[in-house]
Structure 1
Amino acid sequence: MTDVVEVAPVVAGVALALIVVLIVLSWVLGIVRYVRADGMLRASMRQAFMIRRRWRRLARLAGLTVTDRTPTFMDELTTKDGKTPKPRVRTPRIVVTGDHYGVIVRAVCLPKVGLEEFQRAAPYLADAWRCTRVSVLPDGPGRVVIRGVRVDPLSAPTDHVPTGEEPADLATWDLGLDEYAEPMNVGLDGVPGMTVAGLPGYGKTSLINKFICDMAPSPAVQFAVADGKVSAAHEGDYADVIGRLFAFVGDDLAEANALFKRLVKLRRDRSASIRNVLGVTNMWHVGPSASWPLTVLVIDEAHTYFRDYKGNDPETKKLAALAAENQRLIEDLVKKGRSVGILVILATQKSTGDAIPTFIRDVCPVGLSFAQRTAEASVAALGDDIRNWPDANPVSLQSPVYRGVASMAIQGRPGYTRIRTPFVDPADAAWVAEATAHLTQDPAELLAAFTGPHGLEAEFEAVEADVA
């Protein structure tokens, strides 16, 4: 016992010294991080410091505290007989970090102070923290994450420089940053078709070019483009990536029709052989590969190929027949291509029924829209519910500040989300396409290597006979 008494002060002194050292070290590291940070990050670090310092008072004012009237063990020991211990006001514990756009606050919920209470208090928190906007989302059981942005991510244009490295995940399309500066992705494994709408010059083609640049280093993705704005491959927005496309057509309806027929035949051949070749009935169960690549058909200015021609002269009748057949072919790809690894991306200015037939547009599970001039165009692109979300309506994105900003519905989130999509320099797109041109393969030829040029047709005929 004597030894313990003698050693106890030494142990307590060492523990106290360690605590002091850790506190000093944390302050030094904080000062170093602050000095090395740029102006934007320093402002966020100061903002985070003030939030931590003032949190207890703000939580009370915002109704984010709970009164605990149950005395603790120490309260019972220290309270005189006959007196009731004072109730304690409990405040959610928080951890605050800053980044270039604002702060991220992670909070632990309390009884009667949960997700709904934090969401109701979001406007007050935004005012108190001097934030443009604040969002509150679940962060696991009993926790919430509060995102406050001091600088609006939507108002600052961003650039994307391709790395030329093979993507780790082929089932995800990185779209950009949402209005809280959080990365926004869309999954491709359950998506047979996507629609991209918006006024000219607001970001449709740049978004698609980014997708091509990011996926081009992988031999497990192959691209075909039908561009209704141009007549030849060396023209327009896709001239820089032409080397990475296994097929390209311009505004000629007959050439587009031939390409669409090729892809429908590929879809049928894959459907007939997928079980024998891959051992599954859905390509996404095993993922794309160099021998069975994800085949992406981009149809830019889609209305060019679906236009309803009126007239009785032979040329107009021919064009009307081609447009009608194009509609049927693309409907086939969108409705039946997902499981065999075919994705159709349709881009147009107004995705109304005369630009993209509704029987095609309405089965595309993903749709996004850049700026629009009319409410009708916004509804056509995003659905009638967009009328209930005026802040996210593409009509409000017509300012030049919002070039590159699109609205879309995100699964699992209420309403619509605005996304800042980055700009891709054509020179960067050109070098990526040139560096990866050797990976370009016709998916039909890759499939024929498994089954032979005649085996596919025979197998498909057998399937048709079984169905009949």
Structure 2
Amino acid sequence: MEAVTKYAPDALLVAIVLVGVWLLVTVVRYVRADRGTRVSMRQAVRVRWGWVRLARMAGLTVTDKTPGLLAQITASKDGPAPAPRVLTPRIKVTPDRFGVIVRARTLPQVGLEEYQKSARFLADAWRCTRVSVLPDGPGRVLIRGVRSDPLTTPTTHRPTGCPPADLTRWELGIDEYAAKVCVSLANVPGVTVAGVPGAGKTSGVNKFVCDFAPSPAVQIATADGKVSRASEGDYADLVKRMFAFCGDDLDEANALFKRLVELRKRRSATIRDVLGVKNMWHVGPSPQWPLTVLIIDEAHTFFREYKGSDAEPKRLAALTAENARLVEDLVKKGRSVGILVILISQKTTGDALPTFIRDVCPVGLSFAQKTVEAAVAALGDDIRNWPDASPVTLQDPAYVGVAVMATQGRPGYTRIRTPYVADADAARVAEDTSHLTADPDLCLDTLLRSTGRTAMPLSPLTK
């Protein structure tokens, strides 16, 4: 007892110091946080303090009639049986700008399904717009509550100028629960992006270019059907980081598509000898064998059907038919050699984008659409079964920059808020990374010479 009395003041002082440090850190975090995060921090306190009571009311507790070890030791043989224990799942709450993230344990008879059934009660109690419950590993669930709607909150993205850590991940934005949404580019031959004018299609692709531009293992070519020259349109600030660019001229676009088909053929003929694999994605892109991305904006410009008996309509009709055949070659055969085609169009119905191209692109995004038929063309017939997620509901100006897509591992469709990239930031990234621009054909020649092979002859279009 004397020892306890002797060290009690020191122990009390240590406890006071630790509590003071914790309070100081909390206050500093609160002061430095933005307005939305501050509200979420206060919300997190309410969630923690009210959890035990709320869990009991929502049926997220379980009664354990077996007494604990301490109760068994202290219980008397002739005395009353120990009272049953009410077990409440433990939680860990993390606030952010949009709401709270709650990680909770499961209990016998209180698992993922029970949490999901209680989601609407949790949303009301926590004053959230919506609450989702997802598995978070064995014996754990992840509860996401958003107080403000991330889909109607415009966000911006400032490119860091640093190469991405993973060239197989395309970070699109955040979903309706403010969780990051990524698309895997590994073994993906094509991506379709649809939506009415001004819905955010090109802005979303601009983010892709800005994020991947700092990597020498990515090379980009663009055919933009909205402009006639590289100095015009949405890609004027990014053209310095592109090894090839053409406008709405069908002859120039045809030459570009032929150039990339020739590259595809050369890569297909040499990949085993040079990389030692049949699929480039087994070793990943490199500066010598870069991921080659072809962006075709306003794709219907290059595939439309021309009708008429005069010589010029016939020539243009033959040209667009050949364009479709060339792009089909890239989409169907370019996956294993590291060629990705991104097709952007206002709608991806068969009259705008040939179905033999559209239907082999495994990734499809759709911004706002005016008709259900256009939504079905962009996302598949299953979108009819998910009317709340249909891009037809995104025509309000508040949803500019919001897209819909089917994501792996999730049922139904996901709505995504894509961030806006300022023109000045895009120009800065393109200027700073312009020295990384290289022709993939010349890269292949260099790689072939370094391995002691004779470089395959370039076609006239690639010289």
Length-normalised TM-score, structure 1: 0.92
Aligned to 2:225: 228
Shift of 1:393: 0.9
Aligned to 1:465: none
SS of the residue aligned with 1:70? coil
Cα pair distance change 1:400/1:333, threshold 3 Å: same
- Check conservation: 1:273, 1:456, Cα contact below 8 A: no
Show the 5 A alignment for 1:126-205. 126-205=123-202
Shift of 1:82: 5.8
Show the 5 A alignment for 1:303-318. 303-318=300-315
Q: Among residues 61, 68, 84, which one is paired with 2:57 in the alignment?
A: 61
SS of the residue aligned with 1:76? helix
Unaligned runs of 5+ in 1: 459-468
- Check conservation: 1:269, 1:457, Cα contact below 8 A: no
Q: Among residues 24, 40, 43, which one is paired with 1:44 in the alignment?
A: 40
Q: For 1:73 and 1:215, how far apart are their aligned partners in 2?
A: 58
Shift of 1:305: 1.1
Identity of aligned residues (%): 68
Deviations 1:181-213 (A, max 9, x none): 122211111211100111111111111111111
SS of the residue aligned with 1:86? coil
Q: Among residues 103, 122, 140, which one is paired with 2:100 in the alignment?
A: 103
Q: Number of residue pairs matched?
A: 454
Shift of 1:394: 0.5
Cα pair distance change 1:37/1:164, threshold 3 Å: closer
Q: For 1:264 and 1:137, how far apart are their aligned partners in 2?
A: 44
Deviations 1:64-123 (A, max 9, x none): 111111112232344452633221111110011111111111101111111111111111
- Check conservation: 1:333, 1:344, Cα contact below 8 A: yes
Shift of 1:13: 6.8
Whether 1:456 aligns to 2:452 is no
- Check conservation: 1:272, 1:456, Cα contact below 8 A: no
Whether 1:334 aligns to 2:331 is yes
Cα pair distance change 1:64/1:159, threshold 3 Å: same
Deviations 1:261-312 (A, max 9, x none): 1111101100111111112221122221111111000000111111122333
Deviations 1:351-397 (A, max 9, x none): 11111212211111111111000111111111111122222110111
Length-normalised TM-score, structure 2: 0.93
Q: For 1:218 and 1:271, how far apart are their aligned partners in 2?
A: 23
Deviations 1:313-336 (A, max 9, x none): 222222221122111111111111
Q: For 2:344 and 2:212, how far apart are their aligned partners in 1?
A: 19
Shift of 1:238: 1.1
Shift of 1:166: 2.3
Q: For 1:259 and 1:298, how far apart are their aligned partners in 2?
A: 11
- Check conservation: 1:40, 1:101, Cα contact below 8 A: yes
Aligned to 1:208: 205
Cα pair distance change 1:356/1:35, threshold 3 Å: same
What amino acid maps onto 1:140 in structure 2? Answer: G
Q: Among residues 342, 352, 355, which one is paired with 1:355 in the alignment?
A: 352
Aligned to 2:261: 264
Q: Among residues 32, 52, 58, which one is paired with 2:28 in the alignment?
A: 32
Q: For 1:87 and 1:22, how far apart are their aligned partners in 2?
A: 36
Unaligned runs of 5+ in 2: 459-463
Aligned to 2:279: 282
Q: For 2:233 and 2:28, how far apart are their aligned partners in 1?
A: 49
Cα pair distance change 1:16/1:164, threshold 3 Å: same
SS of the residue aligned with 2:426? helix
What amino acid maps onto 2:299 in structure 1? Answer: A
Cα pair distance change 1:255/1:76, threshold 3 Å: same
SS of the residue aligned with 1:456? coil
Q: For 1:40 and 1:152, how far apart are their aligned partners in 2?
A: 12
Shift of 1:456: 2.3
Aligned to 1:379: 376
Whether 1:403 aligns to 2:362 is no
Q: For 2:34 and 2:435, how far apart are their aligned partners in 1?
A: 41
Shift of 1:18: 4.3
SS of the residue aligned with 2:118? helix
Aligned to 1:415: 412
Whether 1:388 aligns to 2:369 is no
Deviations 1:212-261 (A, max 9, x none): 11111221111100111112222211111111111111112222111111
* 313-322 or 411-420, which deviates more: 313-322
Cα pair distance change 1:35/1:429, threshold 3 Å: closer
